[in-house]
């Protein structure tokens, strides 16, 4: 399984979200990701994520969103994830479908290659309906982590 997920995501940064809106879900993930040692400025992360969403929704379709930023205040690639118990209809996903899985990625300003590798790896893996369904039905963060890091 892709080592890059193991390097950037921990079970502690996987949330079961009860949020009813995109804004609330993003804020919960920002607060969670902000606890990672790679994040040096929570306000910078928050502004970066919400600014990115203003430019274009990060809802990539198939019930998945990947909000992402590269910032000078981030020292290395890091990720958190959320399972939306109530899929978010207001996410403005590219296919118009509600979002049930959110993967938030932050990387350093000059970590373009690492950032793209993570985005690409996630996009490729989420073509699998089996994986998406397994993640959506994960009962807890540890189960979610094992599915993401072990399922092909």
**Distance, CA of 121 to CA of 79 (rounded, Å):** 13
**Distance, CA of 17 to CA of 128 (rounded, Å):** 22
**Distance, CA of 132 to CA of 143 (rounded, Å):** 13
The predicted structure's pLDDT at residue 5 = 80
The predicted structure's pLDDT at residue 1 = 38
Which tens digit of pLDDT belongs to each residue from 64-116? 999 999 999 999 999 999 999 999 999 999 999 999 999 999 999 999 888 88
Average pLDDT, the chain: 92
Task: Record the pTM.
Answer: 0.94
Which tens digit of pLDDT belongs to each residue from 20-72? 999 999 999 999 999 999 999 999 999 999 999 999 999 999 999 999 999 99
What residue ranges define each of the domains in the chain, with the CATH number in brackets?
A: 3-150 (3.40.930.10)
Structure tokens at 101: 């899985």
């Amino acid at each position: 399984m892709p080592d890059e997920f193991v390097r950037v995501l921990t079970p502690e940064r996987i949330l079961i979200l009860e949020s009813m809106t995109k804004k609330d879900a993003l804020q919960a993930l920002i607060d969670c990701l902000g606890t990672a040692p790679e994040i040096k400025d929570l306000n910078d992360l928050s502004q970066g994520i919400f600014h990115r969403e203003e430019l274009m929704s990060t809802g990539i379709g198939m019930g998945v969103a990947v909000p992402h930023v590269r910032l000078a205040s981030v020292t290395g690639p890091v990720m958190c994830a959320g399972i939306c118990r109530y899929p978010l209809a207001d996410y403005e996903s590219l296919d118009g479908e509600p979002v049930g899985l959110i993967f938030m990625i932050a990387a350093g300003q000059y970590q373009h290659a690492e950032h793209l590798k993570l985005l690409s790896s996630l996009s490729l893996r989420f073509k699998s309906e089996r994986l998406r369904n397994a993640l959506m039905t994960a009962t807890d963060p540890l189960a979610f982590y094992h599915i993401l890091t072990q399922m092909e």
